[in-house]
Amino acid sequence: MIIAVDGPTASGKGTIAKALAAHFGLPHLDTGLLYRAVGLQCARNGGNPDDPADALAACDFPDHLIADPELRSEATGGLASRVSVHPEVRAALYELQRAFATQPGGAVLDGRDIGTVIAPEAEVKLFVTASVPARAERRYDEMRAAGRLADRAQIEADLAARDQRDSARATAPLLQAADATLLDTSLLGREEAIARAITLAEMLSGS
């Protein structure tokens, strides 16, 4: 069974995807990490993330970059969102994601275009979202818990800018697939959101 979990940043999709993978005993791929690795590698190469050739060259990032703590930073998220605009970059990362999705036994993938582009045949498609203030609040709490300085207004502005860039791009924009089920987590706690996602996945897959 393939489970596709798409949605904007800080919507809870990563937490939900991990929990679904554990519940159904499936491998999980956070596809955002791939775009983050390309963005970070591009910056480290001294390249311009808005330039398609520089961004494409960075798709050759070394495997160990996936474990780099810098990958999780807001700055890297911004770089990821800029390199991910280029169709060349999306094409370069397609095969790896497609192979992961179609492995025997199935998989859970989370991202922006899993249900629309990478695995349109997925049995379960969830589009996880939440309001900008709810997502900013979570990101703020996460940053504070990690001992990092956080400015709530700045976080809200960054999230809105990233949503705008991800939704407006021509290739594989952030979009709810016509056959995806919407899960709005604005008013749900972590455990409630997970429980709701598991119930939906069981219903949709008939398991």
x/- site string to ligand C5P, residues 150 to 169, per CB under 6 A? Answer: ------------x---x---
Dist CA 194 CA 189 (whole Å) = 9
Dist CA 32 CA 71 (whole Å) = 10
Among 5, 17, 24, 36, which residue interacts with ligand C5P (rule: CB under 6 A)? 36
Which residue's CB is nearer to ligand C5P, number 21 or number 202? 21
Dist CA 140 CA 56 (whole Å) = 32
Among 11, 31, 116, 129, which residue interacts with ligand C5P (rule: CB under 6 A)? 31
Token pair in block for residue 77:
């998220």
Span of 76-84, 123-131, 144-152, 196-204 interacting with ligand C5P by CB under 6 A: 76-84
Place of tokens 């791929």: 29
Among 81, 116, 129, 185, which residue interacts with ligand C5P (rule: CB under 6 A)? 81
Minimum CB separation of residue 206 from ligand C5P in Å reads: 26
Helix axes 87-101, 32-44, angle to 10 degrees: 140
Q: Does 111 bind ligand C5P (CB under 6 A)?
A: yes
Positions touching ligand C5P (CB under 6 A) are 9, 31-32, 35-36, 77, 80-81, 84, 111-113, 162, 166
